[in-house]
Chains A and B, each alone.
Chain A
Amino acid sequence: MPDINPFVIFMASIFTNNMILANFLGMCSFIAVSKEIKTAWGLGQAVTFVLTGTSIINYLIYHYVLVPFNLEYLRFIVFIILIAAFVQLVEMIVERYLPTLYYSLGIFLPLITVNCAILGVSLFMIIRQYSLIQSAAFGVGSGIGWTLAIVALAGIRQKIKNAPIPKGLEGAGITLIITGLMALAFIGFSGIVSVQ
């Protein structure tokens, strides 16, 4: 188990090891849902929430159920089912008790099951052998980092809405180029902390 301060992991997963800009995870919704800041912010919140929950649950299930029974190879199936179940559960609870939150997150929750960032965080924390606290810090940090990236991208896309872009580059093309520039900017953070 690596001896890294959870706070370092937290900061690293926001800035230097950002899920999108360094690990390319969660790109699908990143490109599709980044046309407006408001929706990007909603999705970001939902992702952060689910990431925090699933990283803890998946950690517990992996280390206290799968490892004792030598079933590590089943982790893909188990993780994806747990993520789907967690998303479903959160949707029901939020709908019942926090209706205002439900209306702002509602439509995004089902989308999240297939967001690669969620499964990616669970797989990364297993490969890097994080402890429970480290995994939780990694989950929250990754969620915040993802939110930061998607809200920033949505802001830029709103600004360039009327810019004259070459025909073939419109839409996904220019979005990827902007993401590339953002990734370049984030490399500037790499001096602060680094975690591999």
Chain B
Amino acid sequence: MINTIKNIFSLGVFKDNPVFRQILGICSALAVTNLLMNSVFMGLGLIFVTALSSLTVSILRKYTPKHIRMMVQTLIISAYVIIVDIVLKAYFPAMSEALGPYVGLIITNCIIMGRCEVFAQNNPPFTSFIDGVASGSGYALVLLVIAFFRELLGFGSLFGINVLGENWVNWVFMIMPPGAFFMLGVIIWLANTYIPTKDGKAPAAGGGN
């Protein structure tokens, strides 16, 4: 059991990481990473939604007719995203404002749908839940790495606290969209070079959906 969990985590976080390996869910990975704090909230939100949607889909998998399963999955995901949205609005209004439409866009984040379709549909609830947490964590990890560099270089600060001192000249470029694209491109490059793939072979070129 422990081994299964360890295995799922090593796949979800590193070897089969949703962002840099499967190229999923990068819309929000790029949009919210200009500040570390935004990324923390986005990551937590995504872990919550992925884990619970996988759990729910897995529990309902025997009762869901095959041909309407996509619709059912979408509804389950939307329900959890609404919870995240309401909680953010109620307790962290500033954060809700900063993330704007990207909270709602968790629904169309392909990671969640992908895990529901590929994993939760064929596995028991507990493992599906763990798988959701693992994939969500893999996503959150990449977000934090990107946000770390973008905030550090773009604002000279981490979590809003100035760390590079007064003389640091902000790289405005890093906060703008091109900075995000370059950062993710470089991370994919490094990951493909240094992190082994699932079957130990060189990573396949070309992004899937």
Contact = CB atoms under 8 A, between A and B. Distances in A.
A171 interface: yes
A27 B178 contact: no
B196 to A, nearest CB: 12
Given A28-B110, A29-B209, A176 B104 contact: no
Interface of A: 21-29, 31-33, 73-77, 79-81, 84, 111, 114-116, 118-120, 123-124, 127, 166-177, 179-181, 183-184, 187
Contacts of A73: 82, 85-86
Given A170-B206, A179-B181, A119 B108 contact: yes
A76 B30 contact: no
B4 to A, nearest CB: 29
Given A76-B104, A76-B107, 4 more contacts: A114-B110, A169-B185, A180-B182, A180-B185
B101 A124 contact: yes
Contact of B192 (A84, A124, A168, A187): A168
Decide if the interface of chain A is mainly helix, strand, loop or mixed.
helix
Contact of A174 (B74, B86, B107, B185): B185
A44 to B, nearest CB: 16
Given A21-B177, A74-B82, A27 B100 contact: no
A28 B107 contact: no
Contact of A119 (B25, B31, B105, B182): B105
A80 B182 contact: no
B207 A127 contact: no
A118 B31 CA distance: 16
A75 B184 CA distance: 31
Given A166-B189, A176-B181, A176-B185, A84 B105 contact: no
Interface in B1-60: 23-28, 30-31
A31 B209 CA distance: 8
A172 B207 contact: yes
11 contacts: A24-B177, A27-B27, A76-B82, A77-B82, A84-B74, A120-B101, A120-B108, A168-B188, A172-B206, A173-B192, A187-B178
Nearest to A190: B176
A183 B30 CA distance: 13
Interface in B172-209: 176-182, 184-186, 188-193, 202-209
B78 interface: yes
Given A28-B27, A73-B85, A120-B105, A177 B182 contact: yes
A80 B70 CA distance: 12
